[in-house]
Amino acid sequence: MENKKLNPSREDNIYRLLESVIPDFHKAKKGVNGWMTAKCPLHEDKNPSFSFNLNGGWNCFSGCGKGDAALLAEKLGMDPKPYYTHVLDNNHQGFKPVVTHAPKRSKVIPIKLEYITVQELNEYLDPREYKNNNYALFLKDTFGAKATNELLYKQYIGTWNKPGKFKGAAIFFYIDEQSEICSKKVQQYDRDGNRIKKPKPLTFSEHPKTWKRCLYNERLIALSNKDISIVESEKTANLMSLYRPDNIWLAVGGSGLNATLLEPIIDRNISLYPDQGFYDKWSQFSKENPEYKIEVSKDCEYWFESGEIAKGKDIADYYLNNHNLRYDAEWNQSEYDSIFHN
């Protein structure tokens, strides 16, 4: 007798199973031949070690085993029958699970990372360009020339000096703890320090083809053993390093908060200062990563609940509205004085 498939809904059942049990299923990293990688649903997986495909084949490289959707369901204490392939042949009638074998794990070949050169960094740090940089001028208006120049100098804030709509935009360089320049973000601001968002956001990021993500200001952790404070935006990290210099202020930028980014600071005390609207998400992250010494700022919780920080705003907005921190405008580097002379 010719083999005949009796369960046309099996593919739908498998998809619903995978979607329901695999953490961040829709963010799984795509590989070759339809295989994807995500965190394993069978153990507490910090780094994705679970390879799977939409036919139900899977393999956990951390030791949980491999097999088909039926076996996965069984290991999770679920009914495996909806995930069997039903086959009728001359020798067998009834359920016959078909195992979709996971591929053998190939030898990992380390990827050679590329970085932005120091020459490119210096190209955008020309102090003569700060007079065209609205973000730098906003800092000078708010904090005075001395503090602004020191901030620009220490945190490598540059200026986009090419013609076009981004000319004069601020450049934030992402430099890791080894002082390697991983990427740069270009953001256009108005004179009041607000990001230009209309008619559309004037921002973009650039990085080499093979690159690594790091925290903004990560290089500073190698220079001090101060406690760490993490915020969302580069601007907030800049401003808070002036308002509260007892901590090192880092930013996640567009990468979002994740455990991989925090690996260089796993042994440090970390305080999180989320934007309004992200408090619950960052609190949940701190609970899910007990290996890190993380706490979410109680100040933020109070400010959010009391309405002192509005939705879409953050700790820097609170300090800008409630603290006047203007330094002496004098500066001891003549090239900066010529630009920010009061």
Per-residue pLDDT of 158-213, as tens digits, reads 999 999 999 999 999 999 998 999 999 999 999 999 999 888 889 999 999 889 89
3-class DSSP state for residue 37? Answer: strand
pLDDT at 216 (0 to 100) = 96
- pTM of structure: 0.65
Reported as a pLDDT band with limits 50, 70 and 90, residue 295 is very high
* CA nearest to 97, candidates 76, 73, 63, 64: 73
What are the CA-CA distances from residue 274 to residues 211, 233, 251, 319 (Å)? 26, 10, 10, 14
Which of 59-68, 195-204, 225-234 is predicted most confidently?
A: 225-234
pLDDT at 342 (0 to 100) = 42
In angstroms, rounded to a whole number, what is the distance separating the alpha carbons of residues 19 and 263? Answer: 28
Name the burial class of residue 259, with classes exposed (0-12), middle (13-18) and buried (19+) by CB atoms within 10 angstroms of its CB: middle
Which of the pair, 313 or 206, is modelled with greater confidence? 206
Gyration radius of the chain's alpha carbons = 26
Reported as a pLDDT band with limits 50, 70 and 90, residue 85 is low
Q: Does residue 328 carry a pLDDT above 70?
A: no
pLDDT at 99 (0 to 100) = 43
171 CB neighbour count, 10 Å cutoff: 23
Reported as a pLDDT band with limits 50, 70 and 90, residue 269 is very high
Per-residue pLDDT of 97-140, as tens digits, reads 444 444 444 444 556 889 999 999 999 999 999 999 999 999 99
Reported as a pLDDT band with limits 50, 70 and 90, residue 230 is very high
